[in-house]
Structure 1
Amino acid sequence: MDDRKKGLAIAVGGGAVLLLVVLALVGLATVYTGAYNIAATEEHTSLVRWALDTTFRNSIKSRAADIQPPRTVSPEMIAAGANSYKQMCEHCHAGPGVKRAEWASGMRPKPPHLKDAAAGWKAQEIYWLVKHGARMTGMPAFGPTHDNQALWSIVAFVKELPAMTPETYAALGDASSQSGHSTPATQNGRTKR
């Protein structure tokens, strides 16, 4: 390699290192000065929204890849999932013919309407998300307070949402679960095993 090519290679390498240092300094300045507005009344910038959405999806997909969903889903499982969904999820994620709670509209990111979003997720991915939650989204982890059977029931119900009519949705579950009171299947907020 002649001296001219070596000089060009050094200049390009030095320029790349300098660019990385500048980007790191801008990032640190943004973090330490509070320059990025985190208010829930403002949408994220396109770049930040893309980064968060992409990380969210890829993180769940990679962690849920080895989870095996139940082989069969019974009507009783879906009904149990409806009770839990209406008690714990409906206020943020809505339901067929039911709007999300007004306060949930101020969340960023906005919780998706699962009637529309559920079809884009595999059962094991929904299970992982329901069990572990997601940081900085408002999605709680239900794994510490619910057993696997209860979690899979929620998943079974959520997977049914895209094809569900408002009438079917209203008929599933019971009134006590919608009011936030414990159902016979729960005790102290924890599903019986």
Structure 2
Amino acid sequence: MENDRGKRSEKSEKKQTSHQRKIGWVSFGAGIVVTLLVLLGAGMFVVYSGGYNVAASEEHRSLVRWALDTNFHRSVENNARGITAPETITSQMVAEGGEHYKKTCAYCHAGPDGERAEWANGMRPLPPALSEAAAEWEINEVFWLAKHGVRLSGMPAFGETHDDQALWNIAAFVKTLPALAPEEYEGIGSTEPLEPSTPFPEASQTP
């Protein structure tokens, strides 16, 4: 009899413990759902109230800037991964890309002197000075950026108006910018092909 009572008591305790665990998990799940709904509601309030300032005269908040930058870099890396660069980057490609860059891209992205058009300083996000930023990207990533552009940044998709060869020329030139001397940049547009002061980085020729 005592053994039967002990077994029944043990079963009852196990059942009660299992029930308490279920209640705990249900409460935990409900807490997560409520938290998500509150965050969603707060987000919708900000969106519909116009509470987030979209003025280009102010920088993004730190958290927003981090989220946008992180997603931007990961997106470019993922989308450009399957693009294969030309096996050979010629000085003629660099020269032709440089002429286009100087006539079009330099207004926002500047040359070796870091000076962009005055109006470009009012853009948010501020276009990167490629004489520095180009070192962060592989040539296939520069090609992808030039071809597809970047939403809500002012960077157009040049693939709509340029063929792939022209875009590879631009990408080839951009990759030489960090090592390009100011006098070489000034010589762009002359009748002689531009010879960069240092060879095109071999590691950047392949994705």
TM over 0.5: yes
Instruction: Supply the AA of the counterpart residue of 1:25.
Output: G
With normalisation by structure 2, the TM-score equals 0.82
Q: Deviations over 1:79-135 (max 9, x none)?
A: 000111011100000011251001000000000000110010011111001001011
Matching of residues 21-32 of structure 1 within 5 Å? 21-32=37-48
With normalisation by structure 1, the TM-score equals 0.88
Structure 1 stretches of 4+ with a deviation exceeding 3 A read none
Residue in 2 that maps onto 1:45: 61
Measured in 1, the distance between the counterparts of 2:57 and 2:90 equals 42
Instruction: Supply the AA of the counterpart residue of 1:116.
Output: E
Residue in 1 that maps onto 2:155: 139
Q: CA distance change for structure 1 residues 6 and 40 in 2, over 3 Å: closer, same or farther?
A: same
Unaligned runs of 5+ in 2: 1-16, 192-207
What percent identity do the matched residue pairs reach? 53
Q: Tell me the C-alpha RMSD between the 2 structures.
A: 1.3
Matching of residues 99-178 of structure 1 within 5 Å? 99-174=115-190
Q: Does structure 1 retain, via aligned residues, the 8 Å contact 2:80–2:144?
A: yes
Q: Deviations over 1:116-175 (max 9, x none)?
A: 100100111110010010110000011011111100000000000011111111112359
Q: Does structure 1 retain, via aligned residues, the 8 Å contact 2:112–2:185?
A: yes
Tell me, what secondary structure is at the counterpart of 1:2? Answer: helix
Unaligned runs of 5+ in 1: 176-193
Residue in 2 that maps onto 1:87: 103
Tell me, what secondary structure is at the counterpart of 2:159? Answer: coil
Residue in 2 that maps onto 1:20: 36
Which structure would you say has the larger Rg?
2
